[in-house]
Structure 1
Amino acid sequence: MTSTTPANPGQYTSTPTTIGGVVGAPSAARAAQLVRRASGGKDSAPVEMTAPFTGLVNATLPQATDADARRAFANAREAQRAWAATPIADRQRVLIRLHDLLLERQDEVLDLVQLEAGKARMDAFDEVCSSALVAAYYGKHSAKILGAKRSAGLIPVLTKAGELRHPKGVVGIISPWNYPLALTAMDVFPALVAGNTVVQKADNQTALSALWLHELAEEAGLPAGVWQIVLGRGSKIGDAMVEESDYLCFTGSTPVGKKLAGQVSTRLTGYSLELGGKNPMVVLPDANVAKAATGAVTACFSSAGQLCVSVERIYVHESIREEFARAFVAKTEALRLGSTLDYGADMGSLTSADQLESVSAHVEDARAKGVTVLTGGRARPDVGPLFYEPTVLTGVTEDVRLFAEETFGPVVAIYGYTDLDDAVDRANDTSFGLNASVWSRDGAAGWAVAARLKAGTVNVNEGYAATFGSVAVPMGGMKESGVGRRNGPEGLLKYTESQSIAVQRGLKLRPMRGLPPKLWTKSMTASMRVLRRLPGR
């Protein structure tokens, strides 16, 4: 792995006009301006968040108390009535304007995402693309998805039936640190266009990126108070997020997701969860090895592996295993590590010291148990405090922690197979089921294998971006990887309550006066036999 930044940490000397000590970053005054958009925080001590690239302070953030968070929900509930009454066409226009602003002003947020999350700039750009795609999709299609639907009534002509969609009310959204722009957009935008107001708990580490998007949304025409962002620890404001929301959306770890689901269930309100993954990639014997190796690099090491849908297990047919491993290792070793605010680096750093410790512990456990490290396997403090080399392992056995545990970092293990059924079984042998990848020259064969994998999204000849970027199809996890879906019509309708209305004319649905019940039931039985044969029934 090469580095795009010199080892001398002196290049990161902080000045009053930089964030996180990185030259060329947005000014500290701009950061403070964004922070002022967060709700609450008057009665709780602020926290300082640092830049992964340098370890220097990015911003000082106010922290909301339980009372602050509940006040935000009360304000959101007040604002929701007017927002729900706003014509859907007007709500859509906000998203279309926001789409255009995102693309026009992307350089601002690319810097912020890099500084807060430690990403390479290309990985930060992925977030801009995803956010813009979500804004465009729901900006164009929401009216049709949410529109009143006619349905077949009980008795043709005499029974008119239909379905309406109403907003849930106030949606609580708890967002993670790893994709602060994209995951905010994917959850917040459909909730808003459905007529809900939103209270979002953004993660402190990447709060500036979410606050920037919030500012842009109001510039695009979103009324003040319709979307509020609160900052604070889950231990302080988590109860308010659960107890005050009419629907809760959470992205994060499986243990926390299970805890929240238990809390929400007592209120009988809805929720959706996107949780952990241990995502497999299956390389079929006919795959183009060079293309599969190139795709694996992106699938495994984008955002330094801190992506819920990134690949951590690769199953390669034994006939091409050695060739694939050589190509994959060579392409991995060619990756450039760096922390500059440009496109000079292929991979950035981990986001926090906890992440670095977790990744290091997984690799050291594997090394101690005899696993072969084909490349990587060490931290790179010469590049920056939280950098870790992209790492490829082989010979991983079941007693190794990373065999089954999610690493959530730039670490992947290669396994061989000879029988496809065995490869599919091993790929499915996990409590997770978020994303998977299949590689084959034969698209139909790849699709057939994909259909056998127990994952909410499966990509053929791609790692994750094909499904991630196809906003019209749902995205989410099976098994312990989550409940519910984002994107597509399902990602919008989950934020609504369905209401069925039927109008009955002419004929009563009970025997008319003087008609014996037995004769009535016989006639209705005959009618149902006829109705079953009618088209559309």
Structure 2
Amino acid sequence: MMNSIPNVPPPINEPVLSYAPGTPERALLKETYARMHGEEIEIPLIIGGREVRTGNTEVQVSPHEHGHVLARYHKAGAAEVRQAIDAANKAWKDWSNWPWEDRLAVFQRAADLLATRYRPVLNAATMLGQSKTAHQAEIDSACELIDFLRFNTHFAQKLYSEQPFSGPGMWNRLDHRPLEGFVYAVTPFNFTAIAGNLPTAPAMLGNVALWKPAATAVYSGWYIMQILMEAGLPPGVINFLPGDPGPMTETILGDRSLAGIHFTGSTSVFQMIWRQVGERIDQYRTYPRLVGETGGKDFIVAHASADPAALATAIVRGGYEYQGQKCSAASRVYVPQSLWPQVRELTLGMMETIRVGDVSDYRNFMGAVIDRKAYDKITGYIKHAHAADDVEVIAGGTYDDSVGYFIQPTLVQVQDSAYQLMCEEVFGPVVSLYPYPDAEWEQTLQIVDQTSPYALTGAVFSNDRAALLQADRALRNAAGNFYVNDKPTGAVVGQQPFGGARGSGTNDKAGSILNLVRWISPRTIKETFAPARSYEYPFLAEK
């Protein structure tokens, strides 16, 4: 035992590599992508540090080449879930008592492994399995996940340093204990970084986790698990459990030792989980912590003073990067009629140059949407827009699934601000735009606030400070991440803590200390140095 109070290395956001022609990172990523493309791997469960093969398997394919199988993965059933719960509870007894600096060192090492040797591997896995371009993979599976690992260890030390005042003759302390039980981490397909963060953030604080990756992101999840194990994560701390969500969740929610849920996914699923936990609340050892980031119908609203070029760029980047499959993606846009002709020309000019296709071709700005279900849903919205009155598809509107699930970036102009594409989450490369009368700026702000049940991200464009103040007040509760003269995507760990309220989740701000607070159960310790030796107080004296 060392007599020291160590400091976690100060976090710095991981630099984004360019992958420009001639750079070494481009050559290495292309080589790694080609090698991994030529392999079909088998992915087992990881329970208690052991590989488990159930024989009940599914395949993961490349969305931009859906005939190409990347991996065959084994699926957990109820028996494997119960094994994982037992393994997690067993690991908790030791892991929860590790010195905090030793726990955090595991994740610091994982960050360095990812920043170096595993960087091209996880980026290639994200490109192959989730159809991200090299740039989108770099800012996600490399930089953001590295940042989560490094910044969260820093936030953990800061949290442990939070201690109460002590009066004369006593020493008051806070023991920031992990939760008593296991955390169920349910992760999405669209961000590899989120898949890595949801199980690791609680684990840093001494918790244990059952991790269910999305079926369409098991491939990249497998490599995250390899990084964690190589970094020294003890067996059972995080158990990797691909499988069907319904039966798995039913088994997990029925276990007495469920202590928390860390979730990113659809609003309807999170509400169903919340409801089921509530129905069983008397069965649990403790009240489970429910932390969720769910849907969004993210907006851009422009004032007449807005910069047309900046606004058009925000629409294109915010709406179409990663095929619009970001929970923060710009999905509904409000532009004053006086500005619309210029913004339309600039936006359409940019969209005409966008290439869509295989992400191994670095000239492509967009890849494919994630799977058949997403493709059918998104194209259904486009078909409705083509057929609807008072709606004009002014760009894109075409699609092709013969090789991959490709949808052209689509811009729809509407005359009714309540048209379904202005209200419903699409989660694809479809942006709806409503040109509003310039004189109705304040009324439009009210429409933006009231149109959607979500409140995740939003952006306002204006060079008029008074208008910005109006928008800030009117939209204060309409977005958990609010952007001024910038697209509503691209939150950076440690800089823009991410999360929304209303129908978008519990707003526990991933990428900040606020999220980590949810994964501790503080114990107050009061030590008195000179205890009282009589029950009597001075006021009891007669005179």
Normalising TM by the smaller chain, what interval?
Answer: 0.7 to 0.9
Aligned residue in 2 for 1:526: none
Task: Indicate conservation of the 8 Å contact 1:26/1:108, yes or no.
Answer: no
> Residue 460 of structure 1: which of 473, 484, 490 is its match?
484
- Between Structure 1 and Structure 2, how many residues are aligned? 490
1:381 CA displacement: 4.0
Matched, 1:490 2:514: yes
Q: C-alpha offsets along residues 297-353 of structure 1, whole Å, 9 cap, x if unaligned?
A: 111112101111111011112221221122112112211112142532111111111
TM-score, with length taken from structure 2: 0.83
Matched, 1:408 2:427: yes
SS at 2:221 equivalent: helix
Aligned residue in 1 for 2:202: 191
Greater Cα shift, 104-113 or 439-448: 439-448
SS at 1:239 equivalent: helix
Distance across 1 between alignment mates of 2:54 and 2:414: 53
Alpha carbons of 1:490 and 1:386: their partners in 2 closer, same or farther (altered >3 Å)? Answer: same
Aligned residue in 2 for 1:295: 314
Aligned residue in 2 for 1:281: 300
Task: Trace 1:77-476 onto structure 2 (pairs within 5 A).
Answer: 77-104=89-116, 105-127=118-140, 128-151=142-165, 157=168, 161-168=172-179, 169-179=181-191, 181-244=192-255, 245-265=258-278, 266-267=280-281, 268-370=287-389, 371-381=391-401, 384-397=403-416, 400-417=419-436, 418=438, 419-429=440-450, 430-441=452-463, 446=468, 449-450=471-472, 452-453=474-475, 454-466=478-490, 468-471=491-494, 473-476=496-499
Aligned residue in 2 for 1:530: none
Alpha carbons of 1:318 and 1:145: their partners in 2 closer, same or farther (altered >3 Å)? Answer: same
Aligned residue in 1 for 2:9: none
Task: Indicate conservation of the 8 Å contact 2:329/2:489, yes or no.
Answer: no
Distance across 1 between alignment mates of 2:54 and 2:376: 33
Alpha carbons of 1:237 and 1:414: their partners in 2 closer, same or farther (altered >3 Å)? Answer: same
SS at 2:66 equivalent: coil
**Gaps spanning 5+ residues in structure 1: where?**
1-17, 520-537
The RMSD of aligned alpha carbons is: 2.8
1:24 CA displacement: 4.5
1:436 CA displacement: 0.8
1:246 CA displacement: 1.2
Distance across 1 between alignment mates of 2:359 and 2:386: 32
SS at 1:150 equivalent: coil
User: Partner amino acid for 1:424?
Assistant: L
1:425 CA displacement: 1.0
1:473 CA displacement: 4.9
| Identical-pair percentage | 22
Task: Indicate conservation of the 8 Å contact 2:415/2:435, yes or no.
Answer: no
Alpha carbons of 1:394 and 1:247: their partners in 2 closer, same or farther (altered >3 Å)? Answer: same
User: Partner amino acid for 1:425?
Assistant: Q
Greater Cα shift, 399-408 or 323-332: 399-408
User: Partner amino acid for 1:496?
Assistant: I
Task: Indicate conservation of the 8 Å contact 2:299/2:488, yes or no.
Answer: no
Task: Indicate conservation of the 8 Å contact 1:365/1:401, yes or no.
Answer: no
Task: Indicate conservation of the 8 Å contact 1:137/1:472, yes or no.
Answer: no
Distance across 1 between alignment mates of 2:495 and 2:423: 31
Alpha carbons of 1:465 and 1:480: their partners in 2 closer, same or farther (altered >3 Å)? Answer: closer
Distance across 1 between alignment mates of 2:217 and 2:203: 21
User: Partner amino acid for 2:272?
Assistant: K
Aligned residue in 2 for 1:535: none
Q: C-alpha offsets along residues 249-278 of structure 1, whole Å, 9 cap, x if unaligned?
A: 111111111100011223331111111111
Distance across 1 between alignment mates of 2:466 and 2:44: 50
Greater Cα shift, 207-216 or 46-55: 46-55
SS at 2:407 equivalent: coil
Alpha carbons of 1:396 and 1:82: their partners in 2 closer, same or farther (altered >3 Å)? Answer: farther
Alpha carbons of 1:399 and 1:293: their partners in 2 closer, same or farther (altered >3 Å)? Answer: closer
TM-score, with length taken from structure 1: 0.84
Aligned residue in 2 for 1:55: 66
Aligned residue in 2 for 1:533: none
1:102 CA displacement: 1.6
1:159 CA displacement: 6.6
User: Partner amino acid for 2:268?
Assistant: P
Aligned residue in 2 for 1:45: 56
1:247 CA displacement: 0.6
Task: Indicate conservation of the 8 Å contact 2:212/2:243, yes or no.
Answer: yes
